[in-house]
Structures are given as structure tokens and as C-alpha cells.
Structure 1
């Protein structure tokens, strides 16, 4: 058999099918969505497509229908670097960079050695008040092979000390590159202090002549952890990078000479496609900044370090964080991150132990080596969904970046309160979605586990902060506060009664049980101060009033009906309120816990 006989023409899979227009697809969507709608409530094809739209933070949205459009996809390693800073190496697609912040130098040293022995390829040490002391850095890194392991430090409380400690350590030992982690704006945001840019120039010069060494890490996670949208966090990061280049230019070197010192540390979330789009968009925007500054074309690709998000992590049911981290790491891989850090699933509880560190490390090792994700450069390239989302993120980031520039730059925006305004607006919008469970948190607001699942770990030291600091806040915080309140009440319960057969109450009973569990409240059939009736509208009409009166006569002070107000009709007045999808669940559960608490205190007296 000759090699030419193995060559075939492309298989025409679409041959014989008529070309479909957007209107054809819209009609198909409308046919599906209208199946259970009344004749007078049917959606038009245009309305059906609009019904599939999903809103994201930062004014972004995803469509339900994407059609092929003509666009120049570009290539990895070429302007505008959307598809990657470079073509991936299949054997080592990205830097597996794990975080070390245990203040006990002996423990950190052991964890560093364990990570490097089992798949990590670089070491990231967080130095300062809530991490490793600068003087302990030599002990922590004692077992690191200088010829093959890049080193990275970060700090919020004393960046110059961390950078100098690392420089002293590597002097003459030939370490294989790294980053001094200087980000005075990020430190100022996190601590509420004033940014001090004066040490930058000397420390940048200290890296000159050291192959593979950079001085600056713009940490976009600070604003994101505090509640900012991906768009706002990235725009502020780009503006911060520009501020550093301008400052260094005032000290002598042109931006083209210092551009390569900047690395961006960004958040990877469980929204894998948004994570990928954000990384791709960041490279595009930063490449255009480099173009405006006269940086040679081949050097405009942004270096990115993706870290799984702290804001999405939960204290309750922490093993669900393993799933979130997997999605986030996959998104970071798809987005072409140069380095990836997976935070252990128990990070929220305190300092991680060996098992959780191993699980975090192996999450990305498995993705890189076993799933073969890392063997493809820009695997999502050409997906009209991902390309459209990347365009939208890039345009939004550029617009926000220009807004910061018009405000006088990132330092002026910080002083004038613009960044606080952005974070406050994003947080308020997101909190409403979380409180109504339109943005569910698995294991916390949806499908919660009533058992006490929070792990106990050695606590981290607190970072001293001043007024105005951008303090991390997690999305699950409001529900975790409810669980804490419930624990003080000693496993509170609410009476749940059903009417009719399983088919009448099954769905609403399950809804009620899960809703109550989100606040740490169990259910019982014994009559207590609060009771809920769960059943269909028809069963309510037949026996709802009598059941409510029976519960009141048995001692229930408050009777609630599970269902939507528009479904309950005339019989809705038999209850004092309703339990239904779309309500402010946090406020409802807080009120319920207050009532149960008052009842418990009354009984104890």
C-alpha cells in the first residue's frame, strides 16, 4: 500500500442539508420553549433567542445561539497574542506553581520539597505578616535545586524586604529565573496604605543580567477577591502595569526595556469559558499597550499566572471546591496561562495540610499529563462562542482601562474612590443574585449538607489593614453566617407538612427542605413555632386552610405556604407568608432563625 492511497478527500458531512439561517435556528428554539406555554403566552423566534441570554458580571453576556462568522483567528505567539504568548510544549505545557504561606519554616520546607518531588515545577512563597518571614526564606527554600526551579515571592506587608531576601538567596547560586513579586499598587489596595513606587527602579535594575528574572507582578486577584468583576479587575491590572512602566521611564529606562518585567496574576473561576476568555483578552489588550509604547512585536505577549479563585471557595462542604478548582484549572489551561496555581480545597479553613496540597497539585498535573489538555495550544480557538466572548471581554476591559486613564490613571482612581465605586457596584449586583439563588452556590445555597462539614485547620495570621482596604469577601459568606447562627441555636428545625400524594407535594417538599438547609435548619413533623405546608395548588384549595388552622391550634405561631403567589390564588390568605423560588433567601432565613431563636430563648426562660 502506498502512502498516496491513504490520502482521502475531506468527508462532506454537511452535504445534502439545506443551509440554515439565523431565523431558522430561532424558530427551532421557539418550538422547543413554547411546548409547555399557553397559546397566548408563546414566544416569538426573536424572544426565544433572547430568553437564552445569560448575564455575567461586568456587563458581559453569553448568547444561546452562536453562528459562524468570518474572523481572523491569528496564531499563537503572534500579534495580538490572543491565542497564546507562545506555542505550548507538549511535555510541559505550563508551570505548575504551588503556593506556600505557612509561617513555620520547617513545615514550609517540607511542603516545598514534597511539591517539587510530585509534579510542581516552580515555587511561590508568600512573605510577610500573614506568611513566611523574610528571614526564613533561606530555610524554606533550602532543598530547592537552583538549576531547574524558578522562584517567585509575593507580599502585601513588605514587598521590598521579600524581594531583597530572594535576591540575597539566589546571589551566586544560579537559580533558573523567577519573579520578585513587586506590586506596590496591589499591596496598597489590599492593606489600605499608600502605594510606594520608589523601590521599583533599583530592584528592576537588580534583575538586569539575570536570565529569566523579572521584578513585577500585577496582582489582579486583589480587586477580584474583594468583589470586582473580571472586567474591572483586568482593566485595573492593565492600568497598574502602565503606571509602573511610566514610573520606571521617569527613572531612566524606556518602556520597551522594562515591558518584559511585568507578569499578571489573575483569578481563574469555575466559569471555565469566562476564565479562558479573560486570559485571552488580557493578552490582546496588553499587546496593544505594548504596540503603543513601541515594544518590539515579538515581545508584546503578556506573561500570565492563573490562580483558582478565593472568592468562589466555600467553608461548608469544602470538597465541592475540588470540582470548582478543576473547572478553573481547565479554564486557565484553555486560556493559555503560563503558570497555574490551584489553591487547596480547605484554604478557607486555614493553613492546608499535606493531603489537600497533594489533591490541589495533582488536579492540574492530571489535566496537563493524563487528560492531554496541555498538548493543544489554544484548544478553544475558533469556537465562535469563545471567540465572541473574548472579543466582548477585551472591548469591555479596554473601555474600562480608558476610563481609568481619563481619570488620571490607577493611582488617581484609587485616591478618588473610583475603584471602590466599581467594587461596590459589582458586589451589590452579585449579592442580589446570590441571595435569591439565581446564582447558586452548590453545597451552600443549593443542595446543602446539614452535617457539620467545615474542616478545622491551623489559622492564618491576620494581615493588618487600614480603612479603605480591599478585603477579600467570599460569595458564600452570607450563607455561612446563617449556618453559624444556626449552630448557636443547636440544630433548629421547622415543621414541614405535606398535602395529598407524593406527586402533589414531592417537588415543593424537596424545594423547602433544601431551602431550609441552606440556613442550617432541619425539618421535623412535630409541630413547632414555624410550619410550612408543601403541596400542589389544587391540594391547597381542597385542604390548605384546614391544615393551617390545625397547625396553629397545635402551637405553630407562623404557617408558611410553599409556592408562588400567582399560583396560590384565593387560598393564599391562610398563611403569613410564602416560600418560593426568586425570594431573598438570605433575608428570609435570617428572619426565620431570629424567630426560632426567640422561641428557644423563651422556652429556656
Structure 2
């Protein structure tokens, strides 16, 4: 009976072919261009279809593999229990120790100490780790003089005779990415001194199975404006360079691979980031496999993820909590070893108890309430995500091969190739932000109208530091808007934009809302109005408000008559702006009306122009 019912159910829903879907779509488009309307042309170098079906999985060779099985697309383990990672900035060792103990009791099981001193001592290390059970957590060290710090830590665990199999340590030693991108060149020819010291440390750490000396800082590319494909390809190329250099220094491929850890940024590109992590595992597995390791476990990509700092905002900073949450979801669904959610206030101040707790709680909620750790690769089998995985893998592999043809990561970097690629991508993103094709809530769209910068928000926090020479400097995409808005907030003036709504009510309100968001992005106080029955009434109210800018908000059909009348009644006492791009624009311009704002405007440059006109 059950089988009969099932058969009846399926006969009620006959299969629909792709041709039938396409025919309906073509009809609905009413002659519009299919590719322009529905196909997403990504910055990563491939196009994304409006929908995917089972037939789009044909030819994907990696399908059918399981989690924990080569090539590890679905994960390097048969479970999804990631570590909750949090960083403590070490300025005072006693204070840092107190913070560390507190967060360890609050759910953190992967602790990072960022050392700020260049003269860190063994005594300070003892104080820093006081009452912390090293064998019960994962410890990571980053910051200054990492080789020296690694020496101290290895000496401490050896002195205390801690069980070798229970020690989990990571050191952020990264001469290829972190050091090279900051300085543009090695401190010694070809980095020989750095790698000799690195090899010495790896040999010292040999008794400990879970110590990783190298961290490939792939997040630097993402936070400097790279695309997802570029971040992945450059990180893989740097990892491969480490692999080859260490093998040349006498290490087996197994030994070299097991000392490499990848740190990747997770942006708000929700599904693409899932696909990136899945593609990354597959590509790294094949890279290592090419050197014939003794065991496949050497092919596993050891991945730490950190939510993006590039898209954080200093204005309306609580929106960063939303960004961090969706980014954490991308990472945990895709599968990682550990994850750090960047505190929402990290863009403009050192994280505090509250911001660190909120960041921590994102992961705790995903584990204990959403149970993300109970499901392995839930994205597996999705027509869309499997195709994204393939597309990202294909493009990243092309770029990886291009780097190898240039002589490997070091040669490609020193030639300027990598910096040029990242800067070009960053420039494209900057333009998209300026024109609002890329939205950063609270910065270039839907700002908090009533927010004024606090005294604690410094110019340094919102001013981009331009990289010099062959270097990369991470920045935030919102900085250009924030710098402009902070300048207004600190100008001692309160510029105002008055919305003169008239004509067609529906269009007047729509354009008023658009214009309010437009001008508020610069910290200009917006005076919105429901509707004026006449132009005279609107102009009278505008003049009484003493607003420096008056924005006419009406329908395209109304502007030919309304805009010139507003101009006449204003008598040059305010800057007149027309909201929209009406067909009568040439006629209006001929009458001296020069200012228009619409969806195609470069918002950043337009706002700077109006601020200059107002003497700010």
C-alpha cells in the first residue's frame, strides 16, 4: 500500500525538463537579454547560472567521496567538531592571563596569544600561561619575534615533561606571506636565514605530533581586497612553496605537510565561501598527493578560518554582529578545524569583554542550539554549491598554475604579479562600493541617520594606509565613506538636506527614501517630508529649515514643470538637487539645473562634491 501511494504521489508531479523551464523563463523575460538579466558575472572569473539541476552535476569527478576520505572535499574528518578560537592581545602578561582564563571558562578551546613585545621572556611566558592546562586546549602564538617565542614555548613544554601526544600548538611563522607582504622583500637573500631557523624549529618540535610551525596567512589577501579565487590560489601557492623548500632542506613530504596550517578569511559571500573551503581542501590534497606521501593524512588541509575584517564598519558597528554570524555559518557548514569570529568593534578599538563574549556566543549558539557540529558537510549534493566548488577549484587552479609557471610563489611575488592582482581587485571593489553595486550596510547604504561619531573614534581608525612598493596593506572597504563622514561629524557644522516631496505621491516617497539614504551616508542631516500639496508650500518649508541642500522628489513626468519652479522660488539660497534621471534632463540642464542623483551615481564622489560646495 505504501509503495502504491508513493507511486501515485510521484505521478501527480511529473518531471519538468530543462527545456520547459527555459521556455517559461524566456517568456517571462519578454525579450530581455537572458545573460544580462539572470546570469551573475562574478569577480572570480566565472559566471553563475540562475538555477542548477541534477544534470549540472555531470562530469564533477569529486562527487561520491565521503568526509575523511581523499580528496577531502567533504571534510578532513568524519565529524564537524570545530574548535572555538579567540585571540588575546598581550600587552601586559598578567592582564592577558586573566582574560585567557576567563574566556577558557566561557567556551573557548582554541586560544591565541598575540605577542606585542619584541623582548618577550621565559618569565613572561610562565606568567602568561599560569594556571592554563596546555595539554587540554589548542594554543596558538602570533605577533612579534615568533621564532623566539616558539623556542621559549618548546623549552617550557620539554621542561615540564608534558605528554607529547596531547600537545596541540600552532605558531604563526610565515615569512612568505605575512613578512613578504609587509616588507616586499626578505631580510636575507631568498629568505635563507628565515627558512634555516624554521627548519631548526620543526626539528625541535618533531617529538610532538600536533605542532604546526607554519601558518599561511591567506586572510591577508582577502583583507587587502582580493577575490575569493585569488585568496585561495595565492594561499595554496605559498603553501606549496613551503612544501618544496622544506623538502629541499631534508624533510619528507609528510613532515613538511604536517607542519603547515592555513588561515583563511571568510567574507559575507555566503555560498561562495562554503565552496572555497571545499575546493581548497580538494586542491591542497592533490598538490600534496603529487609528492607521494606515505600516508594520505598528509594531504589533509589544516584550516583555521577567521571572519572578515575587510567588510566591517566603524559606523553602526552592531551590524558587524550580523556579518560575523553569517560568515561563521559559511565556515562551519563547509567544515574547518577552528574558527575565530572577529569581535564587532575590532575595526576601531581593542576588543573588550562584551564584544569578545558576543563573538564567542555566535559559535556557541551554532554548536549548542543550531547543532551545526552534528552534521558533516550539509552542503554536499547541492547542485548549486557543488558547481560553485568546481568553478572555484577550476579558476584557483588556473591561477595556481600561472604562479608556478612564474617560478613559484616567491618569484611571482617578487615580480609584483601578486600585489598587482590584489590591488586591481581591491580597486574594482572600491569602485563598486562607491557606486553602491557592493553594499556595506551602515556605510554606503542605509546608514544610521542619528549616529554621530563618538569621541573614541579616531581618524586613524577610518583612514586607509596606502601600501608602498611591492607590499599589501589590509584595509576596510568602508573606510572612504567613514573618513568622509567623520570629517563632517568633526567639522563643527551640521549640514542639512531637505526633501521637497511633490507631484506623484508614490514616486515622491520612493525618491525621498532613496535621497535620505544617499545624503545620510556623509553624515548630512536629512529632513524628510511626507508630501507637499504645492511647490510653493514645499519651498517655503525648505527655506525655513535653512537647509543647504534641497532635493526635489517627484516623478519623471512632474520634473519638467516642478524643478524649474523650485529653482526660481529658491533663488539660489540652497543647492538644488533632482532625485532621478528623468528624460527631460537636457532641458533642465539648459535652464541651469545641474545636480542629479540616481542609482547610477558615484555616491562617494557626488557626496564629496556637495560637501565641498558647502565649505566642508
TM-score, reference length from structure 2 = 0.88
Is 1:539 the equivalent of 2:538? no
8 Å contact 2:419–2:471 — kept in the other structure? no
Question: Alpha-carbon deviations, 1:66-86, whole Å to 9, x = none?
Answer: 111234331111121111001
Distance 1:11 1:133, change over 3 A: farther
Q: How does 1:200-211 map to 2 (within 5 A)?
A: 200-211=198-209
Instruction: Write the distance in 2 (CA, Å) between the matches of 1:596 and 1:199.
Output: 59
Contact 2:556 2:582 (C-alpha < 8 Å) held by counterparts: no
Correspondences of 1:504-583 after superposition (within 5 Å): 504-524=507-527, 525=542, 526-551=545-570, 553=571, 555-556=573-574, 558-566=575-583, 568=585, 570-571=587-588, 573-574=590-591, 575-583=593-601
What's the counterpart of residue 611 of structure 2?
A: 593
Could you say if the C-alpha distance between residues 452 and 141 of structure 1 is closer, same or farther in structure 2, counting changes exceeding 3 Å? farther
User: Contact 1:287–1:300 at 8 Å: present in 2 too?
Assistant: yes
The range that moved more, 245-254 or 579-588, is: 245-254
Matched ranges for 1:340-419 at <5 A:
340-419=339-418
The 3-state SS of whatever aligns with 1:439 is coil
In 1, the alpha carbon distance for the partners of 2:393 and 2:421 equals: 18
Q: Is the 8 A contact 2:552 2:576 kept in 1?
A: yes
Deviation of the 1:316 alpha carbon = 0.7
Residue 96 and residue 458 in structure 1: after superposition, are their counterparts in 2 closer, same or farther (change >3 A)?
farther
Distance 1:28 1:60 in 2: 25
Q: 1:61-76 alignment to 2 at 5 Å?
A: 61-69=47-55, 70=58, 71=60, 72-76=63-67
Comparing 159-168 with 425-434, which one deviates more in the overlay?
Answer: 159-168
| Greater mean deviation of Cα atoms: 7-16 or 19-28 | 7-16
Residue 465 to residue 576, structure 1, CA distance change in 2 (3 Å): closer
Alignment of 1:11-160 (within 5 A): 14-34=10-30, 42-43=31-32, 47-48=33-34, 50-69=36-55, 70=58, 71=60, 72-88=63-79, 93-128=81-116, 136-155=124-143, 157-160=144-147
Query: Shift of residue 7 of structure 1?
Result: 10
1:358-417 deviation per Cα after TM superposition (whole angstroms, max 9, x unaligned): 000010110112101221100100001100001011111111111111111111111110
CA distance in 2, matches of 1:15, 1:134: 74
CA distance in structure 2 between the partners assigned to 1:420 and 1:50 by the alignment: 31
Q: Is the 8 A contact 1:528 1:555 kept in 2?
A: no
Which residue is equivalent to 2:213? 215
**How many angstroms apart in 1 are the aligned matches of 2:35 and 2:341?**
36
1:161 paired to 2:135:
no
**How many residue pairs end up in the alignment?**
578
Distance (whole Å) between structure 1 residues aligned to residue 133 and residue 27 of structure 2: 63
Determine whether 1:186 maps to 2:177: yes
Q: Distance in 2 between matches of 1:456 and 1:252?
A: 56
CA contact (8 A) 2:556 2:583 kept: no
Of residues 62-71 and 565-574 in structure 1, the stretch that sits farther from structure 2 once superposed is: 565-574
CA distance in 1, matches of 2:208, 2:582: 69
Tell me the SS of whatever aligns to 2:367: helix
C-alpha change, 1:6 and 1:22, in structure 2 (3 Å) is closer
Aligned-residue offset at 1:14:
4.0
Report the CA distance shift for 1:12/1:79 in structure 2 as closer, same or farther (over 3 A).
Answer: farther
Q: Which runs of 4+ in 1 moved over 6 A?
A: 5-12, 130-135, 455-466
TM-score norm. by structure 1 comes to 0.89
Write out aligned runs for 1:259-298 (5 A). Answer: 259-295=257-293, 296-298=295-297
CA drift at 1:290: 1.2
- Structure 1 position 278, deviation (Å): 0.8
> Residue deviations 1:504-552, cap 9 Å, x none?
300000000000011111124324443221111122133221112212x
Q: CA deviation at 1:357?
A: 0.2
Distance 1:465 1:57 in 2: 22
How many angstroms does 1:63 deviate by?
2.1
SS in 2 for 1:279: helix
Cα displacement (A) at 1:502: 3.0
**Mapped partners of 1:141, 1:422: distance in 2:** 41
2: CA distance between counterparts of 1:94 and 1:400?
29
Q: Select between 558-567 and 260-269 the one with higher mean Cα deviation.
A: 558-567
- Residues 145-194 of structure 1 deviation map (CA, whole Å, 9 limit, x = unaligned): 12311111123x42212322322333323463111222111222342141
Distance of aligned partners of 1:597 and 1:569 in 2 relative to their CA distance in 1, 3 Å threshold: closer
Take 1:212 and 1:197, find their aligned partners in 2: how far apart are those partners? Answer: 20
**Unaligned regions of 5+ residues in structure 1, if any?**
35-41, 599-605
User: Whole-Å Cα distance in 1 between the matches of residues 454 and 438 of structure 2?
Assistant: 25
Residue 474 of structure 1 pairs with residue 470 of structure 2: no
Of residues 489, 492, 500 in structure 2, which corresponds to 1:497? 500
Alignment of 1:406-485 (within 5 A): 406-452=405-451, 467-485=469-487
Secondary structure in 1 matching 2:444: coil
Cα drift, residue 589 of structure 1:
0.6
User: In structure 2, do the counterparts of structure 1 residues 501 and 566 end up closer, same or farther at CA, with 3 Å as the change threshold?
Assistant: closer
Q: CA RMSD in A?
A: 2.8
Change (3 A) 1:529 1:455: closer
Moved more, 237-246 or 18-27: 18-27
User: How big is the shift at 1:23?
Assistant: 2.7
Structure 2 residue runs without a partner (length 5+) = 528-541
Distance 1:499 1:381, change over 3 A: same
SS state at 2:44 partner: helix
1:301 corresponds to: 300
Give how far 1:131 is off: 12
Q: Matched residues in 2 for 1:455 and 1:365: separation? A: 31
Mapped contact 1:49–1:64 kept (Cα < 8 A)? no
CA drift of 1:13 comes to 5.2
